[in-house]
Structure 1
Amino acid sequence: MHFLFPLFVILLQSPGDRAGEIIGGREAKPHSRPYMAYLNFSLKNKENKCGAFLIREDFLLTAAHCWGSSISIILGAHNIKKPEKTQQKIHVLRAIPHPQYNNRTFNNDIMLLQLEKKAKLNRAVDLLPLPRMKDRLKPGKRCIVAGWGWDREEKYSNTLQEVELKVRKDNECKDKYHRYYNISTQICAGDPKESKASFKGDSGGPLVCDRVAQGIVSYGNKDGTNPRVYTRIFSFLSWIKKTMKAHEY
């Protein structure tokens, strides 16, 4: 399976920078976001990094463009370069990208990862709720994105970083990304006037609003400027539930 990307877009978001940000963010309090997972995978013989998040003891959500071979997951991590006692390393049994994922436009950029065994829930490893009702997320709504991805200096972070982002009007992303932006399946977030953004290596991580996963880090301009695009989780709830039920063990 090969991925081709629009010229103006970078294979957005995967884990982070040594100095400390996503872009314009801060180091998260250790294990304050216990749903976060660090994801490694191989694509075209290169190691790639993404984020993911736990939605059931045996399932995580991430972005479909984080698909590859030899996918490995670390739960309960803060510093991914240290052997923390809280960490759980679990093999991925199967990766299930959305069947209508478009690797040119990034539409339907969502993927389920089923773990070989259930994660042990505790203070460092826990679930993140999905939206229960349709919420258009009014412009100005403040949400959080976390990850181990790049900062502007293109350095990855060893420790989990987080940044607060504002939801934007759909027409801002429509104007910026034209036909690639889909109002029904994507969320526009990130104030163009602020140097705060998710970036390469943060892909697949959740856009969390009021402690609920509303979006998944998907794509944006390769220079890290706002606004950027997030997969709208609510649009895929039926697919998520149906797929998890079909693969119960």
Structure 2
Amino acid sequence: MRVYAWLLLPTVLLLPLGAWSGEIIGGWAAKPHSRPYMAFLSRETSTDTKMCGGFLVRKDFVLTAAHCAEGDITVLLGAHNMSKRERSQQVIPARAKIPHPEYDEETYNNDIMLLQLRRKAKLTRWVKTIPLPCADETVQPGAKCSVAGWGWTSADNEQSSDTLQEVDVEVMPEAACWSTPNGPHENYDPSTMLCAGDPDEGKNPSKGDSGGPLVCGRKAQGIVSYDFNDETQPVVYTRVSTFIPWIHEMMKKLQP
């Protein structure tokens, strides 16, 4: 049975406070379909519907955060305005969820998950993959990157956005997220995480829906992992380059 994207919207856009993971604060509306790799994940649990972001890395695989694993996941590709029945949209259920085996739900270390799609996405001008970095590729502090999502546009209310929002952020020095006893980033691990934000301009550290990509130089260098709803704190991202061997191994193992 085909599930139309617009049928998912009422339950997703009316989620209660706390059901969303991350949001675009201080950003702007993205040019429609300018990020054709973006994926919207609808997560049906026994009690409610939640959401996450993600991004298409192969016709049959979406990359997202491991903490987005709860529920039955349906992937929406090619979307811009979630309140409309766009002809660009493709709705594909997830066949398998493959969170990293060493994901730690307390520290958010290794917060990465592959979703195998039930069928291959059709690549169009609205649906495309995004390149991944090379293994152990580094992103230097000061690098200009961007994130996007459909989440709340203010940390003070529950208002989400119908249209995809985006914002520019800067990769921060490791010291900005370095471990401090009992501090907000006490579990920060620079080998598996990236630190990025723009607190000086009042942009909330929750720059994109959890699981969405941190895009630097047209590559997905990070995955939105966690934040603190505090404009003075940057966001922590999963460092994608660390997990390239694992990603390739899993996609090879799960060949259709």
TM over 0.5, shorter chain:
yes
Please, which moves more after superposition, 220-229 or 80-89? 220-229
Whole-angstrom distance in 1 between the partners of 2:112 and 2:76: 19
Name the residue aligned to 1:242.
Answer: 249
Which position in structure 1 is the counterpart of 2:132?
130
TM, length-normalised to structure 1: 0.88
Between the aligned partners of 1:64 and 1:234, the Cα distance in structure 2 is 16
Q: Which has the higher contact order (CA 8 A, sep 6+)?
A: 1
- Structure 1 residues 11 and 225, CA gap change in structure 2 (3 angstroms): farther
Structure 2 residue runs of 5 or longer lacking an equivalent are 1-17
Tell me the residue number matched to 1:19.
none
Pairing of 1:214-233 with structure 2 (within 5 A): 214-223=221-230, 225-233=232-240
Alpha-carbon shift at residue 199 of structure 1 (Å): 2.7
How many matched pairs? 234
1:1-249 counterparts in 2 under 5 A? 13=21, 22-43=24-45, 45-152=47-154, 153-174=157-178, 175=180, 177-197=184-204, 199=206, 202-223=209-230, 225-249=232-256
> What's the offset of the Cα at 1:177?
3.2
Counterpart contact for 1:189–1:226, Cα < 8 Å:
no
Gaps of 5+ in 1: 1-9, 17-21
2:247 is paired with a residue whose SS is: helix
Per-residue CA deviations over 1:19-38 (Å, capped at 9, x if unaligned) read: xxx10101000000000011
CA distance in 1, matches of 2:162, 2:62: 21
Cα distance in 2 for residues equivalent to 1:50 and 1:83: 20
Q: Percent identity?
A: 52
Structure 2 residue aligned with 1:3:
none
| Larger CA deviation: 165-174 vs 145-154 | 145-154
Q: Secondary structure at the match of 2:158?
A: coil
SS at match of 1:179: coil
**AA matched with 1:29:** K
